[in-house]
Amino acid sequence: MLRVAVCVSGGGTNLQAIIDAVSCGEIKDTKIVGVFSNNPGAYALKRAEEAGIDNCAISPKDFSSREEFNRAFLDKLDEWDPDLVVLAGFLVIIPKEMISRYRGRMINIHPSLIPSFCGTGYYGLKVHEEALKKGVKVTGATVHFVDEGTDTGRIIAQKAVEVQDGDTPEILQKRVMEQAEWVLLPRVINDIACGNIKLG
Ligand code: GRF
């Protein structure tokens, strides 16, 4: 049984895709052991709650130093003892200690075809705004391992999505989510659970 912890900051539609895929058996042999958020108001926490998944919000604002927050964050993840940590729209810089502890066992989803439109500052609508500005005809999503850089870890899987005439950043974001992110992330987790993708 693959033990998965998911880290989220916002709406949690990717989390929902994972929850649904586990419950319908599309992701096999997997248990979501916990959902962590830095944002107590994240709708993703409600999704976890509704699915009966252990969840926890710890805000950096509640700590006098970043180190203390990092410690609380790491302790919480360790408590769940996950085999795999999934960053699904998690807007927190991952502490170095956590990266080395979970090296090869932590993955992230990014809403572009890396190495395009990624790195510092490329999150949310900005990614799709820049893709449209550049005039690319194809974009997509990437699942990759997490290392010390921003969106620099080894690529695991990618899925392409067409850009269409008249797209706005919002329309493109929605298409990338529907056609790529919500499909790709559950597929990768299942491949890990089934041993088709090796961790470590
Ligand atoms: C997604 O676009 C994901 O690729 C990015 O952040 C967004 C999170 O959306 N890393 P949601 O919270 O899963 O709805």
Domain boundary assignment for the chain: 2-193
- Span 67-107, pLDDT tens digits: 999 999 999 999 999 999 999 999 999 999 999 999 999 99
| Residue 183: CB atoms within 10 Å | 15
For residue 143, the model assigns a pLDDT of 98
pLDDT at position 186 over 90 = yes
Pull the structure tokens for residue 174: 């929605």
The answer to whether 110 is a known catalytic residue is yes
For the segment 100-128, the average pLDDT, to the nearest whole number, is 97
- Residue 22 has a pLDDT of 98
Mean per-residue pLDDT of the chain = 97
Of 13, 14, 123, 159, the residue with max ligand 1 atoms within 8 A of its CB, to mutate for a pocket test, comes to 14
Q: Measure 65 CA to ligand 1 centroid, in angstroms.
A: 27
What is the pTM for the complete model shown? 0.97
Of 110, 128, 144, 187, catalytic: 110
- Tens of pLDDT, residue by residue over 137-172, are 999 999 999 999 999 999 999 999 999 999 999 999
pLDDT at 147: 97
Assigned CATH topology for domain 2-193: Rossmann fold (3.40.50)
Mean of the pLDDT values across residues 16-33?
98
Question: For residue 13, which atom of ligand 1 is closest to its CA?
Answer: 14
Atom of ligand 1 nearest to the CA of 176: 2
Q: In which region does residue 104 sit, left (phi positive, over 0), alpha (psi from -120 to 50) or beta (all else)?
A: left
Q: Which residues contact 164 (CB under 8 A, 6 or more apart)?
A: 171, 175
Residue 103 corresponds to which tokens in the numbers above?
């090296």
For residue 200, pLDDT beyond 90? no
For tokens 């709650």, the residue is 49
What backbone torsions phi and psi does residue 187 show, to the nearest 5 degrees? -65, -45
Q: Which atom of ligand 1 is nearest to the CA of 87?
A: 10
Q: How high is the pLDDT of residue 6?
A: 98
Q: Which residue ranges have their beta carbon within 6 Å of ligand 1? A: 8, 10-15, 44, 88-89, 109-111, 181
DSSP state of 46: H
